[in-house]
Amino acid sequence: MADTQGLRVRLTQDQPIPLDIDLYCRPGEVLALVGPSGSGKTTVLRAIAGLHHPEHGSVGCQDEVWMDSARDIYLDAHQRKVGLVFQHYALFPHFTALGNVLEALTHLPKPQRHERARALLRRVHLGGLDDRYPRELSGGQQQRVAVARALAREPKVLLLDEPFSAVDQVTRRRLYRELNELRRSLSMPIVLVTHDLEEATLLADRLCLLHRGVTLQAGTPLEVAARPVSALVCRLMDQQNLFTGQVMSHDPQNRITRLRWRGLILEARYQPEYAVQQRVCWMIQSANVLLHRRGRHSNGDRENPLSGTIVEYMVLGEHVSVLVQVDRQLRINLAMTVPLHVARRNALAYGEQVTVSLLADGIHLMPFEKLRGDRAGEDLV
Amino acid sequence: MDWQALLLSVKLSAYTVLFLLPTGIWTGRRLAYSQFYGKSMVQALLAMPLVLPPTVLGYYLLMSLGDASWAGQLLKSLIGHAPVFSFEGLVIASIIFNLPFAIQPMQRAFEAIPRDVREAASCCGMRPAKVLLRIELPLAWPGIVSAMVMTFAHTLGEFGVVLMVGGNIPGETKTIAIAIYDRVQAFDNEAAAVMSAFLLFFSMIMIALTYLITARTRTFHG
């Protein structure tokens, strides 16, 4: 049974956007609500904070009930001990950085407030900027004031609504590090809303993938990315290598499931929950597509080898995103990520022929559904 | 210079502003933040004095405040005499005539406060009354002040409605605008010129003040 010290949220509504949410966030855990625009993630956050009143459900933290439609309990935002960092920070423009934090410290006796507010600003690395007005602060500094203000109330839950979307890439990296450092000292549940999967993977212990107001899957970011429960989750997690195939056989002894795909037999991780002859969707993360080194063969090369032509070659910092066309007629491409130095050493370039291996352990099966732009039938050939 | 008329005008303006300050804040805030059935209708009605000729508004006020109307009877029982052709009647007329001048700038001022700033105040633990006092009023204050300045200046110069509802009774309903008309009718151009110049400079100062306040608002919001 789950412990009851964390944040419990259960929401259902039909209007203005349909919601059917059930989630739990442990104390000290960062839970990312991830989903495309309109998936309802911000609405969930607002409902936790008491800024949105859903039709049915309950919200509670520790021994407190903030909302319970069955018992007609509904506490307003000011009655819930919630710290919320808004997407655009929502600082009070007529107060200084210190003043903004002071406004959230009214639960303390007056003589203690200034000292506490200064300590909070120092904690978010803003010492010395106490007297600046929000308009005199950079985006990153404003975000830090917003975090200090959210923590000032000693909240039972910290909510972050896309807090990094309004700052540049360099500042964002620095703020990620700061948040990671800060969260280690915090013991409350932290809910982070983001549409950025990389951000969720970097910052969250668990993520909850929302789509049209419904939780599709919850788990650690790596788990959800590597083992999506459906093709839709796979697509929302931005996994490009999604195909259809047919289960050929199971080999429990070697923990292998064999899969037919385009006339090839692929070896996959043992997944006996899918029956032999059953049509399935399958995926593999681009990191599990391995490049064969030219002229130096290894044992791993025998694992699901495939040849193809490079049809896209994009340098993304220290990595290269490569698309290998394994079937020209059907235009079936495999996406893979290669470290830049490996790509250079193997002289990868547009139009080059390469051989790759699909790691059996990385091949994940999902229930069959027709795929967009559809090669569903042809994949099986 | 008809000092009695000037004093009466200032008194009328002050009463109007005093009444419209709380009313305007409440109504402007309500129109800015709440959605309710018939909101557009309410806004349209409140804007009517902007487009109606003052004489038309004055005529209807004269009718509705007269002895024959229930409102006139009610007011008569409250103040002891008929509201028309009295200072009290002028105040009522002036309030109604100034509704859009007071409410609209206040509504815009409240609308200019981002929703998330108000919500952040709630999330900081502020009760609604405290959000109003600590966040909304300080941020909307320049808009509220400029609404009050405009209302004051506008009442000072109002002619049509005052003449229709109040007539021209010295010390009771003869405001400075009426006094100017009165002096011109009596070929006393000198007195009319002095009073006109006074109203001209006064209005200019008021308008300048309003622009100054509005410019200061921008430093907060942008």
Tens-place pLDDT, residues A313-327: 999 889 999 999 987
Residues 77-106 of A with CB under 8 A from B: 77-78, 82-84, 86-88, 90-94, 103-104, 106
Test the B interface: residue of A75, A92, A162 with most B CBs within 10 Å: A92
Name the residue with higher pLDDT: A376 or A159. A159
In contact, A93 and B218? CB cutoff 8 Å: no
Determine which of A113-117, A122-126, A148-152 has the lowest per-residue pLDDT on average: A122-126
Q: What percent of chain A has a predicted confidence (pLDDT) above 90?
A: 63
Q: What is the pLDDT of residue A269?
A: 94
Sheet holding A190-194, edge to edge: A73-74, A64-68, A56-61, A7-13, A19-25, A214-219, A206-211, A30-34, A190-194, A157-161, A82-85
Determine which of A135-144, A326-335, B150-159 has the lowest per-residue pLDDT on average: A326-335
Would you call A135 an interface residue with chain B, using a CB distance cutoff of 8 Å? yes
Q: Is A273 helix (H, G, I), strand (E, B) or coil?
A: coil
What ipTM goes with this model?
Answer: 0.84
Q: Which tens digits make up the pLDDT trace of A191-249?
A: 999 988 888 998 999 999 999 989 999 999 999 999 999 999 999 998 889 999 999 99
Whole-number Å distance between alpha carbons of A211 and A224:
14
Are B117 and A91 an interchain contact pair (Cβ–Cβ within 8 Å)?
yes
* Shortest distance, CA B116 to any CA of chain A (angstroms): 6
* Shortest distance, CA A25 to any CA of chain B (angstroms): 20
The top-level CATH class assigned to A7-232 is alpha beta
Nearest CA in chain B to A50: B123
Domain ranges, ordered by start, for chain A? 7-232, 241-284+359-381, 286-358
Whether the pLDDT of residue A380 is over 60: the answer is: no
Q: Which tens digits make up the pLDDT trace of A166-191?
A: 788 888 888 888 888 888 888 899 99
Q: What is the pLDDT of residue A377?
A: 45
**CATH topology of A7-232 equal to that of A241-284+359-381?**
no
Q: What is the pLDDT of residue A131?
A: 93
**Mean pLDDT for all residues in chain B:** 89
Test the A interface: residue of B115, B118, B123 with most A CBs within 10 Å: B123
**Residue A18, CB half-sphere, CA atoms under 13 Å: how many?**
5
Whether the pLDDT of residue A302 is over 80: the answer is: no
DSSP conformation letters of A3-38:
-SSSEEEEEEE-SSS-EEEEEEE-TT-EEEEE--TT
Whether the pLDDT of residue B149 is over 60: the answer is: yes
Q: Which tens digits make up the pLDDT trace of A1-43?
A: 456 789 999 999 888 888 899 999 999 999 999 998 888 899 9
* Beta-bridge partner residues of A206: A31
Are A84 and B222 an interchain contact pair (Cβ–Cβ within 8 Å)?
no
Are B134 and A103 an interchain contact pair (Cβ–Cβ within 8 Å)?
yes
A241-284+359-381 has CATH 1.10.3470 classification: no
Test the B interface: residue of A78, A87, A162 with most B CBs within 10 Å: A78
Would you call B114 an interface residue with chain A, using a CB distance cutoff of 8 Å? yes
Sheet holding A242-251, edge to edge: A264-269, A256-261, A242-251, A279-283, A364-367
**Residue A348, CB half-sphere, CA atoms under 13 Å: how many?**
30
Q: Which tens digits make up the pLDDT trace of A238-283?
A: 888 999 999 999 999 999 999 999 888 999 999 999 999 999 999 9
DSSP conformation letters of A197-208:
HHHHHHH-SEEE
The set of long-range contacts for A174-181, using a CB threshold of 8 Å and a minimum separation of 24, is A174/A140, A175/A140, A175/A143, A175/A144, A176/A202, A176/A203, A178/A124, A178/A125, A178/A144, A179/A147, A179/A203
Whole-number Å distance between alpha carbons of A294 and A288:
18
Q: Is A294 helix (H, G, I), strand (E, B) or coil?
A: coil
Q: What is the pLDDT of residue A321?
A: 92
Nearest CA in chain A to B219: A135
Q: What is the pLDDT of residue B41?
A: 94
Domain residues for the domain of B195 are 3-221
Q: What is the dihedral of CA A223, A226, A230, A231, to 10 degrees?
A: 150
Which residues of chain B are within 8 Å of residue A92 when distances are taken between CB atoms? 117, 120-121, 135
The top-level CATH class assigned to A286-358 is mainly beta
In the block, tokens 């039972």 appear at A156
How would residue B220 be classed by pLDDT, with cut points 50, 70 and 90?
A: low
Pick from A76, A90, A94: CB nearest B120: A90
Q: Which tens digits make up the pLDDT trace of A321-365?
A: 999 998 777 778 899 999 999 998 888 889 999 999 999 999 999
Are A106 and B125 an interchain contact pair (Cβ–Cβ within 8 Å)?
yes
Name the residue with higher pLDDT: A50 or B79. A50
Number of structural domains (chain B) is: 1
Residues A314, A318, A320: CA angle, nearest 5 degrees: 25
Which residues of chain B are within 8 Å of residue A78 when distances are taken between CB atoms? 122-128
Interval B60-77 mean pLDDT: 85
Whole-number Å distance between alpha carbons of B188 and A12:
77
Whether the pLDDT of residue A374 is over 60: the answer is: no
Q: What is the pLDDT of residue A37?
A: 86
Pick from B117, B219, B222: CB nearest A90: B117
Name the residue with higher pLDDT: A105 or B157. A105
* CATH of residue B69: 1.10.3720.10
DSSP conformation letters of A59-128:
EEETTEEEEEGGGTEE--GGGS-EEEE-TT----TTS-HHHHHHTT-TTS-HHHHHHHHHHHHHHTT-TT
Would you call B138 an interface residue with chain A, using a CB distance cutoff of 8 Å? yes
How would residue B102 be classed by pLDDT, with cut points 50, 70 and 90?
A: very high
Would you call A147 an interface residue with chain B, using a CB distance cutoff of 8 Å? no
Q: Which of B175, B174, B172 is nearest to B81 (CA)?
A: B172
Pick from B114, B121, B123: CB nearest A49: B123
Q: Which uninterrupted H or E stretch holds B216? A: helix B189-221
Query: How distant, in Å, are the alpha carbons of A136, A236, B148 from that of A139?
Result: 10, 29, 36
Would you call A151 an interface residue with chain B, using a CB distance cutoff of 8 Å? no
